[in-house]
Amino acid sequence: MKPIRAVSHRQVMGRLLKDQRFRRGYEEEFEKLRIVDAIINLRQRQGMTQKTLARRLKVSQPFIAKLEKAETHNFTLDTLIKVVTALNGELVIHIKPRKARLAIGHG
């Protein structure tokens, strides 16, 4: 019997990212998660709960929970601006061309 050789996450992702459709979707989701992470960090640094943020936005706490899990499809630019404003934050968008391909395991 041949021994089973384990394949690392990095190896699997390396293969999957060769597919341009997969890569595009992966990169889009990665960017959403970066935005969500920034929102969560700002809310937590201010000691604010999801419930308090929801009240400020006049939405439900479950909506905030879904937004923070990137499970909502209502994540428009308007929503992002409203959330950041409710958190007394400043939204800065910097758009630039990509320099290098996405590296797995870094960030």
For the entire predicted model, the pTM comes to 0.75
Q: Whose CA is closest to 16, among 31, 5, 27?
A: 27
Q: Where are the domains of the chain?
A: 30-96
pLDDT attached to residue 104: 58
Instruction: Tell me the pLDDT tens digit for each residue of 9-48.
Output: 898 888 888 999 999 888 888 888 999 999 999 999 999 9
Architecture of the 30-96 domain:
Orthogonal Bundle (1.10)
Show Cβ contacts of residue 74 under 8 Å, excluding neighbours closer than 6 positions. Answer: 63, 67
